[in-house]
Structure 1
Amino acid sequence: MSTPVTEGALKALFAAESSTPLRTRFEGSNIGTWIGFKHINYLIEEAVLAHLSQAGLSSRTLYGEYGLGVDLVDLDTRILHALYLDETVVARVVPTTPETGSLLTFTVSLNGERDGRTTKLAAGRVKVALRTDSSVEKAVEAPEGLARFATSRLGIPASGRELPAPPELSGVLPARNTELADGRGTTGPDPVLAVLTEGRNAFGWKWRIPYPYCHFTERLQMSGYLRQMEEVVDLFLADRGISVKTMLDERRWIPACPYSHIRILDEALMEEDLYTVLTVEDVFKDFTYTSRFDCYVVRDGRLVQTATGKVTHGYAKIENRRDWNLVTFDERVSKALKGEG
């Protein structure tokens, strides 16, 4: 029998703010000493996990004791200032969970020192589901106080924002081009990708979900989607003739990401083929561009959308090993982003 959750733990989870010092990671410093958007989002995820732990309800405890997997299902982040390698920030987590509803919600700010003052460097809004698990042993009843957050399947409804209906797949057979002998995926001719990108300023990538991107034994986790979002942008830029390395070599320009949002709509499972589509929706004054991020799997002959989101990018020119400045797109870059090249 599982141990009841105490009133003190629930009060800490729902009502108490928490602060945790976190350190940026070496892996996230791909260009110079600047930390990329993916790892900034990792810090926000880590802050929420620390908040749960401080309430005595760590992800390990929730899974091992109650069979509840902690799943971030919505992550909406604005990056206000650059973060750097080997920097300690203080993550402040504020619970915002409403009295009704099925998701735990939090706001998170990452704060650090800039010019001698404490400054908010990034801000995120996070939604968390507690996914029940019975894959190893019989499921246990969720404890009082957490039962309304327990779900047998991940997925967030549109919440007033209409999602486009997935394209019709009648008569379209998925290609067998993610076999191990063929590598991990394709961006080339593929009947399903053709359906998903037709008539749009879009780029598609089909990819086999590997176990390092999953958790709780079976499903793609939020950090896996963040990696997917980063990689599909990298592939898109290369496809348009302005790859990250090309722009670095020719101009010392790097992509800069001030905003990202990912929402999980359904579950994507280990070793399924994931179809990821990046659609450029807006190029703003040749200074930033915003893309839609959509992920699908094919089940029983139909498309199932598993995630959606947005990501905004600009370009920064590296001035030296410490400084960079945002730049305006020239004609070549602007046409490539708009699909006019």
Structure 2
Amino acid sequence: MSKSTTAVDGATQTEIRPRYEGSNICTWIGFKHVNYMVEEAVYDHLRQLGLPAGKLYERHGLGVDITDIDTKIRTAFHIDDLATATVTPAADKGDGRRFTVEMTVEREGETVKAVTSKVAVQFRLDPHGHPAEEPPAELAGHVTDRLGAGAEPIRVEPGTDPADLLTAGKNAFAWTWRIPYFYCHFTERMQMSGYLRQMEEVVDLFLEDRGVSIKTLLDEQDWIPVVPHSKITILDEANMEETLYTVFTVENVFKRFTYTARMDTYVLRDGVLVPTATGRITHGWAVIENRRDWSLVDFDDRLVNGLNGKAGKITARGTA
């Protein structure tokens, strides 16, 4: 990032490039890494306001946690693009600070809107007993002892497989997974970028389970999945080395052009499934025209049947 600026209305601008890791198929950047760019813009905004995440944690014992991210991708990023991100404070809703993020990119001499996003940030008190200063005055009313908006837990009867319970009677897929330390921050809890990685991988596993894996459609039809919209909200904290149950549920296939699905995650504590995050993602498919361009296509019967198929589950397939 470079060329950070602050406006009179409290908005900030910064230039940011996508990370090379996110360029997986040709030179296009996937939705997860677009969201990473949004995250970095928000953290730079706080830095410009004198509230850098490092200082807040080290001096005040506050973890800066993104707890809600809702991103629409209007123009695809490529690996060498330089985006201009504008972060503007939005009306708070009692659960931390809220911001809107808009990213633009140059295309053939014109400035094009590429991404719009809504983001919520909470400032979480560190539970460990190390000395810390009082929170900065400007964060009064925004400090919390625990992340999340909360959701109704689900009791699991003895002998019941939680994955079976969560997918019963639904067009859903479940994945059971151990949370590793590198999905966490501020010592113990899973962070938003970890949930973005979880959403990316559960889609990959779901499509493989339904016989329409990403590689299959690439090899046979030159098709790739594209994501115009994704959203994740943290409902409670999930901690390092807990078992996370991730459920991916297809909600709607729209005119053979896009499908929408929900991701819900849970941890099992004392016989109760505690919801820790929920999100939604919209997918389309595109055909690769050349090394730079693609165009959207209608779903064929194989893909439609796969999306509408039977429930499945995979247990503990590595990490993303």
| Structure 1 position 134, deviation (Å) | 3.4
Contact 1:13 1:95 in 2 (8 A): no
| Structure 1 position 220, deviation (Å) | 0.3
| Structure 1 position 56, deviation (Å) | 1.3
**Residue of structure 1 equivalent to 2:184:** 214
> What is the identity, as a one-letter code, of the residue corresponding to 1:171?
P
Q: Does 1:126 align with 2:119?
A: yes
| Structure 1 position 86, deviation (Å) | 1.6
* Cα separation, 2, equivalents of 1:149 and 1:168: 32
Q: 1:87 to 1:136 in 2, by over 3 A?
A: farther
Q: Does 1:81 align with 2:75?
A: yes
Contact 2:155 2:271 in 1 (8 A): no
| Structure 1 position 143, deviation (Å) | 2.8
* Cα separation, 2, equivalents of 1:25 and 1:222: 17
Contact 1:290 1:311 in 2 (8 A): yes
| Structure 1 position 97, deviation (Å) | 3.7
TM-superposition CA deviations, 1:254-289 (whole Å, max 9, x none)? 010000000000000000000000000000001000
> What is the identity, as a one-letter code, of the residue corresponding to 2:258?
T
| Structure 1 position 167, deviation (Å) | 4.2
**Residue of structure 2 equivalent to 1:204:** 174
Q: Does 1:270 align with 2:256?
A: no
Query: What pairs up with 1:114-193 in 2 under 5 angstroms?
Result: 114-138=107-131, 140-157=133-150, 165-172=152-159, 191-193=161-163
- Normalized per residue, the structure richer in strand is 2
| Structure 1 position 145, deviation (Å) | 2.3
Q: 1:48 to 1:170 in 2, by over 3 A?
A: same
Contact 1:13 1:52 in 2 (8 A): no
SS in structure 2 of the partner of residue 87 of structure 1:
coil
TM-score, structure 1 length as denominator? 0.86
SS in structure 1 of the partner of residue 303 of structure 2:
helix
> What is the identity, as a one-letter code, of the residue corresponding to 1:60?
G
* Cα separation, 2, equivalents of 1:126 and 1:250: 38
Task: Name segments (4+ residues, structure 1) moved above 4 Å.
Answer: 12-15
* Cα separation, 1, equivalents of 2:129 and 2:305: 52
SS in structure 1 of the partner of residue 72 of structure 2:
strand
> What is the identity, as a one-letter code, of the residue corresponding to 2:48?
Q
Q: Does 1:339 align with 2:313?
A: no
* Cα separation, 1, equivalents of 2:126 and 2:256: 47
**Residue of structure 1 equivalent to 2:103:** 110
Question: Is the deviation greater in 215-224 or in 134-143?
Answer: 134-143
- Point out where structure 2 has 5 or more consecutive residues left out of the alignment: 1-5, 312-320
SS in structure 2 of the partner of residue 266 of structure 1:
coil
Contact 2:149 2:235 in 1 (8 A): yes
**Residue of structure 2 equivalent to 1:23:** 17
Contact 2:261 2:281 in 1 (8 A): yes
* Cα separation, 2, equivalents of 1:146 and 1:44: 22
Q: Which of these residues, 69, 86, 99, is aligned with residue 63 of structure 2? A: 69
TM-superposition CA deviations, 1:206-240 (whole Å, max 9, x none)? 00000111000000000000000000000000000
> What is the identity, as a one-letter code, of the residue corresponding to 1:23?
R
Query: What pairs up with 1:6-21 in 2 under 5 angstroms?
Result: 15-21=9-15
**Residue of structure 2 equivalent to 1:186:** none
- Kindly report the root-mean-square deviation, in angstroms, between the aligned alpha carbons of the 2 structures: 1.7
* Cα separation, 2, equivalents of 1:82 and 1:323: 10
The sequence identity of aligned pairs, in percent, is 55
> What is the identity, as a one-letter code, of the residue corresponding to 2:220?
E
SS in structure 1 of the partner of residue 170 of structure 2:
coil
Q: 1:45 to 1:118 in 2, by over 3 A?
A: same
| Structure 1 position 114, deviation (Å) | 1.7
* Cα separation, 2, equivalents of 1:193 and 1:333: 24
TM-superposition CA deviations, 1:168-216 (whole Å, max 9, x none)? 412246xxxxxxxxxxxxxxxxx11000001000000000000111000
Q: Does 1:299 align with 2:235?
A: no
> What is the identity, as a one-letter code, of the residue corresponding to 2:146?
R
Q: 1:14 to 1:307 in 2, by over 3 A?
A: farther
**Residue of structure 2 equivalent to 1:176:** none
